[in-house]
Amino acid sequence: MVVLGALLWLCSALLCVGGQLVAAAAWETPYTWDQDLISHLGNTDCGLFLESHGPPQFVCSPLYPLMNTALVLAGLGVIGGALLLRGLWPGGWAGGTAYVLMLTTGVLEALSGLVPENISRTVHLISALHLPIGGIAIFLVSLAIVDQARWISAFGYLIAGVTVIASMLFSAGQYSVPVLYFGLGAGAMERLASYPFNLWLLVIGLILCTGPGRAGCRACSRSDAAGPLAA
């Protein structure tokens, strides 16, 4: 169960980023990673799309079905991985809250693929909350395992900090102060908010897939430690 849950997290991270790479490569007009949003890759229309700020942008993503499917599967992978790892999840209020937030993150990520930006902007914006919520979940997991695995906890704090701060800057830049992108562009700032979460899934998934990692999880669970991610 541990290995399967870890593999689902690995697949989730690879699907999210890999789907973007493949979908972006199919654009006839150049897709700019620093300016174009991730959501543009899943947009089902082909033409000018009115942004929440600034002038309309030309959006045409031939492989939008692949991108949206990848997002749905990535979200389901986050959910499935968390469910399969439930028995080894960190305990206490921090671990319990993190578990709920991780499931919420998966649901919202899947929703972002089910409802593209041009179908319902409101619903799609709500789904984008998976970025900061995922960061908060990682922060709480890291807090729960700080005494058992300091370097993994420190890594989680770094990931959570970058994710939450970049999410706030991205949101502020979208609706009021583009200068908060600090020259990165909307697309780059959104990826700074998104990719660290996938990196955390990848690293934790690899740790849990290893023999020593699984043994550490079982030992941690038996000794009433904070949680398995201390492996």
Domain count of the chain? 1
Q: Which pLDDT tens digit goes with each residue over 176-216?
A: 666 667 778 888 989 999 999 999 999 999 999 885 455 44
Are 10 and 210 within 8 A, CB to CB? Answer: no
The secondary structure of the chain in percent helix, strand, coil, rounded to multiples of 5, reads 70, 5, 25
40-44 average pLDDT score: 96
**What's the predicted TM-score (pTM) here?**
0.88
Angle at 162 between CA 158 and CA 165, to 5 degrees: 135
69-84 average pLDDT score: 97
In one-letter notation, the amino acid at residue 159 is I
Write the CB contacts of 166 (distance below 8 Å, at least 6 apart in sequence).
189, 190, 192, 193, 196
Q: Which domain holds residue 130?
A: 2-230
Q: Which pLDDT tens digit goes with each residue over 104-140?
A: 999 999 999 999 999 998 999 999 999 999 999 999 9
